[in-house]
Amino acid sequence: MHFASDNWSGAHPSIAENLTRYASGFASAYGTSDLDKAVEDRFSAIFERQVAVFFVATGTAANSLALASLAKAGGVSFCHADAHVNADEGGAPEFLTGATRLFPVEGAEGKIDPRALDTAIARFEPASPHHGRPMAVTVTQATEVGTVYSLDELDAIAAVAKSRNLPLHMDGARFANALVSLGLTPAEMTWKRGIDILSFGGTKNGCWCAEAIVFFNPDMAADMPFIRKRSAQLFSKSRFISAQLEAYLDGGLWLELARHSNAMADRLRAGLSAKNTARLAWDTSANEVFAVIERSATERARYKGAKFYDWQPPQGWLPLPAENETLVRLVTSFATTTDEVDQFIEVV
Amino acid sequence: MHFASDNWSGAHPSIAENLTRYASGFASAYGTSDLDKAVEDRFSAIFERQVAVFFVATGTAANSLALASLAKAGGVSFCHADAHVNADEGGAPEFLTGATRLFPVEGAEGKIDPRALDTAIARFEPASPHHGRPMAVTVTQATEVGTVYSLDELDAIAAVAKSRNLPLHMDGARFANALVSLGLTPAEMTWKRGIDILSFGGTKNGCWCAEAIVFFNPDMAADMPFIRKRSAQLFSKSRFISAQLEAYLDGGLWLELARHSNAMADRLRAGLSAKNTARLAWDTSANEVFAVIERSATERARYKGAKFYDWQPPQGWLPLPAENETLVRLVTSFATTTDEVDQFIEVV
Amino acid sequence: MHFASDNWSGAHPSIAENLTRYASGFASAYGTSDLDKAVEDRFSAIFERQVAVFFVATGTAANSLALASLAKAGGVSFCHADAHVNADEGGAPEFLTGATRLFPVEGAEGKIDPRALDTAIARFEPASPHHGRPMAVTVTQATEVGTVYSLDELDAIAAVAKSRNLPLHMDGARFANALVSLGLTPAEMTWKRGIDILSFGGTKNGCWCAEAIVFFNPDMAADMPFIRKRSAQLFSKSRFISAQLEAYLDGGLWLELARHSNAMADRLRAGLSAKNTARLAWDTSANEVFAVIERSATERARYKGAKFYDWQPPQGWLPLPAENETLVRLVTSFATTTDEVDQFIEVV
Amino acid sequence: MHFASDNWSGAHPSIAENLTRYASGFASAYGTSDLDKAVEDRFSAIFERQVAVFFVATGTAANSLALASLAKAGGVSFCHADAHVNADEGGAPEFLTGATRLFPVEGAEGKIDPRALDTAIARFEPASPHHGRPMAVTVTQATEVGTVYSLDELDAIAAVAKSRNLPLHMDGARFANALVSLGLTPAEMTWKRGIDILSFGGTKNGCWCAEAIVFFNPDMAADMPFIRKRSAQLFSKSRFISAQLEAYLDGGLWLELARHSNAMADRLRAGLSAKNTARLAWDTSANEVFAVIERSATERARYKGAKFYDWQPPQGWLPLPAENETLVRLVTSFATTTDEVDQFIEVV
């Protein structure tokens, strides 16, 4: 019963196989091999547009270097208060952008409130050396709390960003889960909404380690080769990323894995909703479930070997758990089985 | 005939297999899994000492973050002029250490001259805010030009560093090749010589991506978890590094691969020395061969499909190639075959 | 009627005279002259303790480099949301500390609420590479909104900082104004309260340019000479700062100037309180007055040449101005005259 | 007998007087006052071109922020090995440019050799993430060793920079001394030669503290307000710089002071050349004299109270001093008297 995180899973067999397949043979290094280029082309095909793709080591690197490509002195980037860049990246976005600042914006359900965003940006306009100047907006899709921005919600964020002349970045650590949840094409959820740069995450959805920064306007990426190397994120045998992504993207495996993962979350949601000892804390659409569960039930589940984390109740937009309850986060992955889900539901 | 670089090779079958083996199953993330810890313990065993181990994405990251752990305002690190940190890391050592400086020191055959090192350090002593202050010495073993520091040579460098109270870092991107070339234990080539921090490279010697920073005094590593995360170098599914290293270290595979690689270089050296059209540019002991070859012969080899790079002739310690000659670098790897070597020798 | 800012004033005649006095003659540079050392000794005498003193160019530099001396990877410093470091220093604290983060804490009247501070710090404990680690607490005395922490209030902040093992910095851009407002000795308002580092500001109170970082434990300042030079804040003819501070501190001039400045603010407060067209927005004790004034009255005052800024009404702890009212900030200085004050009161 | 450095002198009486003159009265802060703007206009007049001017605290700041305005990831700036940025600024250029690198170029008499410069730049071309990319060339006029680039020499440097598409910066800490030595207009020695950005130094030539960054193409300065504030170099009472520069530039005082200073150096040069105990180490044209003097004579001079520094003999382009000789640096300033010079010559 592994619901701690989707990064506790390993790699999908097809991905491991593809690594084995490419293990023999030689190819040029640093992202110049035929396989690297083929995978880059695949990205352009998937996004229905010529894109520039840069592999990096971690999701934190993808987010940080995407922002670094937009960095300017006194720059301020706007994100949700609970966004990964703000809450869980140990200062990497600041460090790797040359000390630009993140400005947290509130909004229910882990989503930036467009009006709060506009108010926040307005604090820094007109730009001044004293208070700094707006530099970027970054949204997380799916969010840290399992919700998914609708097209309208993305459009509203993009409208604010564009009206303020700010580039828009999307942290897609769980991009595939959001995509299949909305039933959209990659293009529809990104550049057609006004997204300029995407952190495309494969690691949480079945790869070992496959994160890419995708620029929808390749001209914006002119400095990226230097920014990436300066941050020690240029792999020599970059084929080992390409090999993962080739298998990941091939035949829509990535979407299939995300659909499975989301379906397991659906099953969890349905099962928990039907219990007396548990209720959904809020509605989620991707592969994360947040539930308020009686403490005795969570203890029982852990005793039986279930892995999951307690979660800090968000402030302001949700009734807090009672004394004898706990807010928990349950994450499914490509490797989650229906048995695990059913067993967990039974136990709590 | 692949002699362009050891990072053009893929991964050893045992390493690919081990990735497949661990692909299923769940484990805690961010370096906390049982496998991560087992591999860390293996490092302590191999180095005959309790060490602290930090996986990072690239050799550049290993070097840069090792230096970052020693960083101080106005700090200057001393390296060979041709060292990878100085010549090929795109400013990452400076950027990731908070803008400390590298000071290149000369020395024949890619090795720091101990007297030149002492003179260089002396320029910054006593420390002053104007000219800065010494911070670290870093040596490359094997060097960028295929040579290997002898124990006496390492001792001489360490004596200078210690007399100046400077910590000593070793860039071991080709650590295994140097080790088997000298026939030493890992302890003998590192902390017994006064090395404080090692960049332990596995990528060039048969892994896909396996670089580790090894602290021989774990107390010096107190800040490293924060430094690593700040630089976006903390893998979530860190098991994929551990799995590679488990296979790499198991049963001495790493030494076996390095021995093969070095033997292929020996064969190249012997073969080229016997030719009229070629001569060794200088003596090397690890898996790199530098040869001066008649241009017509290199053209012939390339026409037949051989891959290798021309090399910029180093200044001052070597007769320059003649008009009709080229200095070339030939790198062997775990995947090099005797056929490739023999074919190359025949062609040139 | 100059109430725009205390930095709109020039320099006190005694300070200008002292600059003239030292203009002839030679003295060693970079803070090593007899005068530099005499002024440093004067600081130790004034603070009744051996202190280490570093002159820098601006208050922003004093704050930023004080924090830089405490910097660590993933470090987070806690300040009031309206603190100068957070609101008005253009990212300098982040940039000059190597990209550490500021975490704004709320509190009425521009003062950090001790419980909110403790809650904020607790979010980062235990330290983790993911969310970072606490690094420092910084308080502003007098605050940005003209209030002054009482001894008890400072003690409460210090108690939180010490219980969390955090060093405590004081931004004393208006140190003298706070000091005379409370009627304390410099020691009582700083190290006796647990302050470790002080930004001692002279510029706003009658100097041209005189800002100093004061370490109450000189051992904590070991890296400061390097940190200051690295940030290009080491003056060559540092005597021009010392000469200002010699005159400033001599015979208690600095306290006299602050008393005058505060008295002018008192006169403003009293005068405005007695008007129908105006009321004090909140109580202040130093040389800043915040008043809610009928818009027609502010327009009249500006027409008559009065200089002052409108102020953004703080959220949550104050009834907002009505439609026809404006919140304004009025700052007095050593150079403010009773005539100016009386004229302003008459006009509004 | 003060020949230690021109920054051991104080301020010219006219400059001190002007500070006194502006000490009373109010003016808007942060570089927005009428006086600030008038002095900026004066710069445009002096340089016969619309320029953008930014005051900063130190020469190190001027150089570092000039380079920061040109910074890019992986960027390399080329300077003479003995340049102040490389030898005496404590890492500030690296730190304040976001960790770009300085690459020292050799050349006799403290001047960059144009061919060596071209070779050095060529090492980084074509740009690559591995070795980085050229970013700027910076020359020092007058040089650190008292020499002055001729127009032809500047043209040769500029030709290299322009052929490599690199912006050209001039460190003019002793700009006035070079200018009067060559008998040129400010325009002739800067933008007419291809200089893009100038560090204009007033401190060494009679100001207390007056350094400005001058952009000959104001469009290149768009980010400077933010860069300067981020580095804590924006003065609040910036008038205290303007007041110095107003007097400094008024009626050509700056040129008169430089002429005096240079004349004192001429007198020193002539006097020393005529002695048996001394000889000029190399020819200089500005206000620095480098002489090889019998050790007994330097000891005698110091015993009599003369202040000057021994100098590290430069390598390669000069016969080294004999055993019983010392290479010394003698710096004159606006405040040097003929009596001092004559007394020194008599003593040695």
Provide the pairing of β-strand B52-56 with B101-105. unpaired
Spatial distance between the Cα atoms of A244 and A17, rounded to a whole number of angstroms: 9
Query: What is the DSSP pairing of strand C197-201 with strand C211-215?
Result: antiparallel
Query: Around Cβ C222, how many Cβ atoms within 10 Å?
Result: 13
pLDDT at C32 over 80: yes
C124-133 mean pLDDT: 97
A330 part of a folded domain: yes
Q: Mutation target for A interface from C84, C128, C130, C315: give the one with most A CBs within 10 A.
A: C130
Q: What is the nearest CA distance from C138 to chain B, expressed in angstroms?
A: 22
Question: Which of A348, A28, A55 shows the shortest CA–CA distance to A225?
Answer: A55
Q: Residue B101: closest CA among chain D residues belongs to which residue? A: D91
The whole-model pTM stands at: 0.97
Residue-wise pLDDT for B93-131, tens only, equals 999 999 999 999 999 999 999 999 999 999 999 999 999
Domain end among A252, A271, A294: A252
**Residues in chain A whose Cβ is within 8 Å of chain C:** 73-75, 87-91, 94-95, 98-101, 128-132
Structural domain that includes position A262: 255-347
Of C129, C132, C226, nearest to B74 by CB-CB distance is C226
Q: Which residue among B90, B94, B99 places its CB closest to the CB of D130? A: B90
Neighbouring chains to C with at least 3 Cβ pairs closer than 8 Å: A, B, D
Question: Are residue D82 and residue D127 in the same domain, yes or no?
Answer: yes
Of residues B96, B203, B307, nearest to A236 (C-beta):
B203
Sign of the CA dihedral with C79 first, then C81, C83, and C88 last = positive
Residues of A in contact with B22 (CB under 8 A): 10
Domain of D298, CATH number, reads 3.90.1150.10
Read off the pLDDT of each residue in D40-69 and give the average, rounded to a whole number: 98
Same domain, A170 and A297: no
Element (H, E) at B29: none
Would residue A8 count as lying in a domain?
no
Question: D165 and D227: one domain?
Answer: yes
D89 to chain B: nearest residue by CA? B130
Q: Could you please report the per-residue DSSP string of C122-159?
A: HTT-S-BTTTBEEEEEEEESS-TTS----HHHHHHHHH
In this predicted structure, the answer to whether residue D321 has a pLDDT above a threshold of 90 is: no
CA separation for the pair B64, B225 (Å, rounded): 14
Beta carbons of D135 and D103 less than 8 angstroms apart: no
- Dihedral through CA C304, CA C309, CA C310, CA C311, nearest 10? -160
Q: How far is CA D188 from the centre of its chain?
A: 17
Q: Same domain, yes or no, for C298 and C236?
A: no
C253 conformational bin, left if phi > 0, alpha if psi -120 to 50, beta if neither:
alpha
Chain A contact residues (CB < 8 Å to D): 30, 68, 72-74, 98-99, 127, 129-130, 132-133, 223, 225-230, 234
Q: Which of A88, A100, A130 sits opposite C130 (nearest CB)?
A: A88
Q: Please give the average per-residue pLDDT across C177-186, as a whole number.
A: 98
Element of type H or E holding B242: helix B239-249
CA–CA distance, C170 with C175 (Å, rounded to integer): 9
A88, A95, A130 member nearest C90 (Cβ): A130
Q: Is the pLDDT of residue B237 over 90?
A: yes
- Provide the pLDDT for residue A340: 95
> Any residues with CB less than 8 A from the CB of B317 and at least 6 apart, and which?
B108, B109
Residue A315 has pLDDT above 90, yes or no: no
**Which tokens is D39 given?**
């002095």
Chain D residues with CB under 8 Å of C12 CB are: 23
User: What mean pLDDT comes out for the span A292-318?
Assistant: 90
Residues of C in Cβ contact (< 8 Å) with B225: 129
Distance of alpha carbon A97 from alpha carbon A104, whole angstroms: 17
The pLDDT tens digits for C195-209 are 999 999 999 999 999
Q: Which of C88, C91, C98 sits opposite A100 (nearest CB)?
A: C91
Three-state SS at B264: helix
Percentage of chain D exceeding pLDDT 70: 99
Residue A303 identity (one-letter amino acid): Y
DSSP letter string, A151-192:
HHHHHHHHHHHHHTT--EEEEETTHHHHHHHHT--HHHHTGG
Rg value, chain C, Cα? 20
Same domain, A111 and A212: yes
**Residue pairs spanning B and C at CB distance below 8 A:** 49
Domain total of chain B: 2
CA-nearest residue to D32 within chain C is C8
Q: Do residues A259 and A204 both lie within one domain?
A: no
Q: Three-class SS of residue C55?
A: strand
Is residue A6 in some structural domain? Answer: no
When CB atoms are compared, the residue of D87, D91, D100 closest to B91 is D100
CA A57 to chain CA centroid, nearest Å = 14
Mutation target to probe the A interface, by most A beta carbons within 10 A, among D230, D231, D234, D236 is D230
Question: A207, A13 in Cβ contact below 8 A?
Answer: no
Minimal C-alpha gap between C259 and chain D (Å):
19
Question: How many Å lie between the alpha carbon of A14 and the closest alpha carbon of chain C?
Answer: 31
- Amino acid making up residue A79: C
Confidence of residue A322 (pLDDT cuts 50, 70, 90): confident
Instruction: Nearest by CB to C129, from B68, B130, B226: name it.
Output: B226
pLDDT for residue A317? 66
pLDDT digits (tens, 9 = 90+) for D143-180: 999 999 999 999 999 999 999 999 999 999 999 999 99
Per-residue confidence band for D346, with pLDDT thresholds at 50, 70 and 90 = very high
**Residue D226: closest C-alpha in chain A:** A129
Using a 10 angstrom Cβ sphere, with 0-12 exposed, 13-18 middle and 19 or more buried, the burial of residue C305 is exposed
- Determine the Cα–Cα distance for residues B335 and B11; give it in Å rounded to an integer: 9
Helix (H) or strand (E) holding B68: helix B59-68
Residues of D whose CB is below 8 A from C208:
19, 23, 237, 240
Residue with tokens 């991506």: B209
Query: How many residues are recorded in chain A?
Result: 348
The pLDDT of residue B317: 65
How close is the nearest chain B Cα to the Cα of A238, in Å? 9
Contact check, Cβ <8 Å, D75/B91: yes
According to the model, what pLDDT value does residue A314 have?
77
What ipTM was predicted for this assembly? 0.96
Is pLDDT of C301 > 80?
yes
Dist CA C92 CA A180 (whole Å): 43
Contact assignment for B89 to A58 by CB distance below 8 Å = no
Kindly state whether residues B298 and B340 are assigned to the same domain: yes
Residue C342 reports pLDDT greater than 70: yes
For residue C98, list chain B residues with Cβ-Cβ distance below 8 A: 98
Question: Helix or strand or coil: residue B125?
Answer: coil
Q: Are strands C75-80 and C133-140 parallel, antiparallel or unpaired?
A: parallel
Q: Which two tokens stand for residue C322?
A: 């009505």
The answer to the question of residue C7 being in a domain is no
Residue ending a domain, among B212, B236, B252, is B252
**Residue pLDDT, tens place only, B43-87:** 999 999 999 999 999 999 999 999 999 999 999 999 999 999 999
Identify the contact set of chain D against chain B, taking CB-CB distances under 8 A.
73-75, 87-91, 94-95, 97-101, 128-132
SS (HEC) of chain D: CECCCHHHCCCCHHHHHHHHHHHCCCCCCCCCCHHHHHHHHHHHHHCCCCCEEEEECCHHHHHHHHHHCCCCCCEEEEEECCCHHHHCCCCHHHHHCCCCEEEEECCHHHCCCHHHHHHHHHCCCCCECCCEEEEEEEEECCCCCCCCCCHHHHHHHHHHHHHCCCCEEEEECCHHHHHHHHCCCHHHHCHHHCCCEEEEECHHHCCCCCEEEEECCHHHHCCHHHHHHHCCCCCCCCHHHHHHHHHHHHHHHHHHHHHHHHHHHHHHHHHHHCCCCEEECCCCCCCEEEEEEEHHHHHHHHHCCCECEECCCCCCCCCCCCCCEEEEEEECCCCCCHHHHHHHHHHC
Which tokens hold the place of B24?
A: 């299923």
Give the span between the Cα atoms of A289 and A266, in whole angstroms. 8
Closest residue of C to D64, CA-based?
A: C232
Structure tokens at D313: 């003999």
* Nearest alpha carbon to residue D24 among C4, B132, A297, C208: C208
Task: Chain D: give the shortest CA distance to residue C202, in Å.
Answer: 12
Closest CA relative to residue C258, chosen from C203, C322, C211: C203
A234:D98 CB<8 A: no
- Per CB-CB distance under 8 Å, the chain C contacts of D237 are 7, 9-11, 203, 208-209
Mean pLDDT of B148-170: 98
- What average pLDDT does chain C have? 96
Hey, are the CB atoms on D226 and A99 less than 8 Å from each other? no
Distance of CA D109 to the CA centre of its chain: 15
Cβ <8 Å between D129 and A225: yes
Across the interface, whether the CB atoms of B226 and C72 are under 8 A apart is answered: yes
Contacts of D among chains (3+ CB pairs under 8 A): A, B, C
| pLDDT for the residue numbered D320 | 74
Concatenating the DSSP letter of every residue in C324-346 gives TEEEEEEE--TT--HHHHHHHHH
Query: Tell me, what CATH number does A175's domain have?
Result: 3.40.640.10
Contact C51, C218 (CB under 8 A): yes
Structure tokens at D325: 């000789």
Q: How confident is the model at residue A23 (pLDDT cuts 50, 70, 90)?
A: very high
Does A3 map to a domain? no
Give the pLDDT confidence of A73-126 residue by residue, as tens digits.
999 999 999 999 999 999 999 999 999 999 999 999 999 999 999 999 999 999
| Residue A141 clears pLDDT 70, i.e. is over it | yes
Nearest alpha-carbon partner for C214 in C57, C30, C49, C80 = C49
Predicted pLDDT at D269: 96
- Give the C-alpha distances (Å, rounded to integers) separating A178 from A183, A184, A223, A261, A275: 8, 9, 29, 11, 27
Q: Least CA distance to A236: which residue of chain D?
A: D130
Tell me the nearest-neighbour CA distance from C227 into chain B, angstroms: 5
Nearest to D90 among B89, B91, B129 (CB): B129
Q: Please check whether residue D5 lies inside any domain of the structure.
A: no
List, for residues B277-306, the tens digit of each pLDDT value.
999 999 999 999 999 999 999 999 999 999
Closest-approach residue (CA) in chain D for A76 = D226
Residue C247 placed within a domain: yes
The pLDDT tens digits of the residues spanning B191-216 come to: 999 999 999 999 999 999 999 999 99
Residue D84 reports pLDDT greater than 70: yes
Name the pLDDT band for D317 (thresholds 50, 70, 90): low
- Closest CA of chain B from C313, distance in Å: 36
Residues C175 and C296 in one domain: no
Q: At C314, is the pLDDT very low, low, confident or very high (cuts 50, 70, 90)?
A: confident
The DSSP output letter for B322 is: P
- Write the residue in D60, D90, D230 that is nearest to C226 by C-beta: D90
Co-location of A246 and A265 in the same domain:
no
For B119-138, give one letter per residue: b (16+ CB within 10 A) or e.
ebbeebeebbbbbbbbbbbb
Span C218-233, pLDDT tens digits? 999 999 999 999 999 9
Co-location of D210 and D273 in the same domain: no
B134 assigned to some structural domain = yes
D contact test, residue of A223, A230, A235, A238 with most D CBs within 10 A: A230
Q: Determine the Cα–Cα distance for residues B298 and B329; give it in Å rounded to an integer.
A: 11
In this complex, the residue of C74, C90, C130 whose CB is nearest that of residue A74 is C90
B160 with B71, same domain: the answer is: yes
**Residue type (1 letter), C317:** W
Chain D residue closest in CA terms to C3: D26
The whole-angstrom distance between B35's CA and the closest CA on chain A is 12
From A224, A252, A280, the end of a domain falls on: A252
Structure tokens at C119: 């809650």
* CB < 8 Å to B130, chain C: 30, 229
Contact A92/B230, CB-based, under 8 Å? yes
| One domain for residues A66 and A168 | yes
